Structure 1
Amino acid sequence: MPAPEGIENQEPPTAGAWGEWNPTEDSVRPVRGKHRVARQRGGLARSSTVLGVGVIAAVGASGIATAQDRPQVAISLPALPDLPSLPEVMDGDFSGGGGAADDTRRAAAEGAKTGIIPQQADRRADAGEVLRNRILQQAESQQDAAEAKAQAQAEQAARDAAAQEAKAKLDAAQKAVEDAKAAAEAKAAAEAKAAEEAAAAKAEQERLAKLAGSYSLPTSAYTLTSHYGVAGSMWSSGYHTGLDFAAPTGTPVKAVAAGKITSAGWSGAYGYRIVLELEDGTEVWYCHLSSMSVTSGSVGAGDTIGRVGATGNVTGPHLHLEVRKGGSTVDPLAWLESKGLNV
């Protein structure tokens, strides 16, 4: 294979017989991209930036084949000055105004100190930023969840309070309705009772008025002296069995209602006595009479049937009036009042 242009074809040189190699302008073009500075094991690193760039540029730009395809040629390397060790570089001053190159070198120096190259530092910084963002997102998510839960609880509490308030208002309204209904019913019942009582009282008045035309007082110009049931030794039964109307002797005695006279004459302690039987079977006894005008037959209410006297067991002139039903005495005063008479 012919040699590249500008390089003579010659026999492989012996050791130390290599000629000088002067890189061309194309072969020393700067290589694009970032370059890492790695720590050399077992010693100090040389300036790999200068050496690496020259070698890579020479190989990549010239298109020279590998040593296996090409015969060996003599290459002379330019003398390189002694470079300071890496710690010296790292401790050096990068304030010479190198711009981006100084930043690159400064990052490389820092990476050499920490054992982390810039790309690793960037990846770790990115990972830290990702972790930080995840933590912040998780915290924000938890905060949002807590706020949502608190808002839901507040809304539920508000709904519960509103439901309780509505229930209380509904109960109050129902109670008010029930109270009003009960009051209306009570009022209606009271009014009905009052109306019933008024009607009953009116009916009683009408009945008494009607009875008043059918009944009459037994005498006039009288004074009530002894009432029914008064106890005393002067009465054989131990108590008074009638009602005494004290009046002057000869005062007319009248039939209290229409009926018939069933008995008239002397009756021991009662003196002269007339028995008047009414239509319902009630017997009215007129006792201590001074005279008897009617001794038999039917009579009407208010008819004169005798005169007041003091016959029999008496202390003065009076009419002893007894009312009997079924053979037993009753209070004459209550009976007369029940017939509408004002005694």
Structure 2
Amino acid sequence: METPAFGSGGASQAPGTWGEWNPTEESIQPVRGRHRVAKQRNGLARSSTVLGVGVMAAVGAGGIATAQDKPAVSISLPDAIADSLPDAKSLPGIGSLGGEEAGTTDPLANAPLTSAGLTVTEAEQGATDAGEALRARIIQQAERQQASADATQKAAAEDAAAEKAASQAKARLSDAEKKIEAAKKKAEAEAKIKAEQERLAKLAASYSLPTSSYTITSTFGQSGSLWSSGYHTGLDFAAPTGTPIKAVHSGTVTSAGWSGSYGYRTVLELEDGTEVWYAHQSSLAVSVGQKVSTGDVIGRVGATGNVTGPHLHLEVHTAGGTGIDPMAWLQGKGINP
């Protein structure tokens, strides 16, 4: 078929006028291969392919030609460009423009461009605006972070409160332990005092004064020319002649008779080996080998031996034979002469 000259508008057109040119599939053949296009400064034309010759013929002297009422013409691109273009299915909101089949299950296929960035879950939940969805995600993340911070702060506060309570409980326990310990020591001291009192009471019950109605006239260690040793070796109980003399504790009589300057003397040996000497008696009431109990009468007060008047001279000797103070010894047994 013969094609009229470009811009002639056919034989019926008047000279000097431009007619409408509508390219058809028969008149336009696909362009193949690579074509160089002059580089433009604005950077909009960097491709090496002419995308359509119909665009150049659309401008006439009287205005812009349209092809709205004509059949669509296919435009071919070089293989290098066509292969690098993205698939229309992967562009949200472009599916229907790119020839997507009806009934697609992609919730974003027919969505507007503002839905770009929405997740499938957000789209299924009815979200249509990516900005609002992003804002919602940011708010949710901030709320989760705040909740986590609040939980951490609450846990730290609870730990601090628990530690403080434990410290206070420990302090109270320590104070209680101190009070208990003080009470225990006080009770032990009181019990010790009571035990000592009971011991002394028991000793007092098992020990007895050697005589009654007496007056202490000389004490142990007192110096003077009246005693051959230069000092007094016992404790003197001045009492009327014939006043009963008693055993200060249970024991055995080891000596009973005359003993020089001591006059009539009785020696009573106690269970621990201690010896108690009773001197200057007017008479004896026991014999050697006899066992006596506390308070038993063993003789009478007299003035025999080296004396200045009737009295009981009492001496105490340890098991080793050393003379000790009778006053202190009796007081140690709970007896106060």
Structure 1 or 2, whichever has the larger Rg, is 1
> Which bracket does the TM-score occupy, shorter chain normalised?
0.3 to 0.5
Give the structure, 1 or 2, with the largest relative contact order (CA under 8 Å, sep 6 or more): 1
Higher helix share: 1
Name the TM-score, length of structure 2 as normaliser.
0.48
